[in-house]
Structure 1
Amino acid sequence: MKLDALCVRDIMSHDTFHVQPTTAADECARQLALHKLSGAPVTDQYGRLIGFVSEQDLLGPLSQSAYHCDSPGSVAKVMSEDVLFVTPDQQVMQVVNLMMGSKPKIYPVVEEGRLIGIVTRRLVMRALLQAQQTCTPV
């Protein structure tokens, strides 16, 4: 497929790990490690995107919890509510431009307010490599 015709929908992961605001911070950290992700979308009970939590967000509560031997609290206390996201119809090259800056490396994919997937730097790189292999020089 030509790169200029490639959309987020074509490369996104549909099997998306996400958490709810009530998820314990330590459980979220365990799941991020298990899924090999640096962050995850936070959704409400209806699947609407309401936040994002990263490993960096979890470091403070986890370090305090380990030091004081208590509970680190919930994701709601540390998640970012100002979430950058993409839509499934955006072109992959738009996402490339976002990821080349100081923006997140994981973007929730949202359609009609609901989380339908994620697109990661790894998925974008894979798409670029595939496009490169099928290039025809002009």
Structure 2
Amino acid sequence: MAEREGSGREDLSLRDLVRPSASVSPDAPAREALRLLLEHRVPGLPVVDGEGRPVGFVSDGNLLASALPRYLTMMEDLSFVRETGDEWVHYLAEAADRPVREVMSEKVATVDADTSELEAAREMVVEGVSSVVVTENGRMIGVVSRLDLYAAIIGLKRE
């Protein structure tokens, strides 16, 4: 690796920054995605097919939105809504049983493992995402987040 001029550190490729990531199948129930989000303490997961190819992304926001009755998302004033705790439990349980494919975003930002840091950063900004799924031969090998890029650029170690 070549040392970056003036930075005191070597240039890194995404291959050097990629972190292994949990993923979920589009056919898995949403509750499995939620379990993985909680277990790995991440806000979102790549959704991959049986071949390991990214087909979507599911976030905590997708899961929450899927649990809200549609009419609530169209209203600005909720002061007159009288939903009870039992009704919310019903909505959440129903949403948790849906397949991930029904709640995920089909928009998933992917970059090849040989992509530069700059190209990955550009992809995150253009796509409005906080991380990119890194692929090799079309299959997911992990994820790189904005924080991973920041840390690498200024020479901080991520644990």
Q: For the superposition of Structure 1 and Structure 2, which TM-score range results when normalised by the shorter chain?
A: 0.7 to 0.9
Deviations 1:15-64 (A, max 9, x none): 21100012221221231122121111111112111111111111122345
**Corresponding position of 1:71:** 94
Alignment counterpart, residue 6 of structure 1, candidates 12, 32, 37: 12
Give the alignment's TM-score, normalised by structure 2. 0.71
| Residue 22 of structure 2 is aligned to residue 17 of structure 1 | yes
Contact 1:53 1:75 in 2 (8 A): yes
- Computing the radius of gyration from Cα coordinates, the structure with the larger value is 2
**Whole-angstrom CA distance in 2 between matches of 1:126 and 1:66:** 44
| Residue 113 of structure 2 is aligned to residue 88 of structure 1 | yes
Displacement of 1:127 in angstroms is 0.4
Select the structure with the greater relative contact order (CA < 8 A; seq sep ≥ 6): 1
**Whole-angstrom CA distance in 2 between matches of 1:129 and 1:20:** 35
My pick for the range that moved more, 25-34 or 56-65, is 56-65
**Corresponding position of 1:113:** 138
Question: One-letter code of the match for 1:81?
Answer: E
Question: Which ranges in structure 1 are unaligned for 5 or more consecutive residues?
Answer: 132-138
**Corresponding position of 1:36:** 41
**Whole-angstrom CA distance in 1 between matches of 2:137 and 2:16:** 18
Distance 1:78 1:66, change over 3 A: farther
Matches within 5 A, 1:125-136: 125-130=150-155
Distance 1:101 1:49, change over 3 A: closer
**Whole-angstrom CA distance in 1 between matches of 2:127 and 2:49:** 27
Aligned length: 130
**Whole-angstrom CA distance in 2 between matches of 1:66 and 1:4:** 56
Contact 1:18 1:41 in 2 (8 A): yes
Contact 2:109 2:124 in 1 (8 A): no
Percent of matched pairs sharing the same residue: 31
Cα RMSD between the aligned structures? 2.4
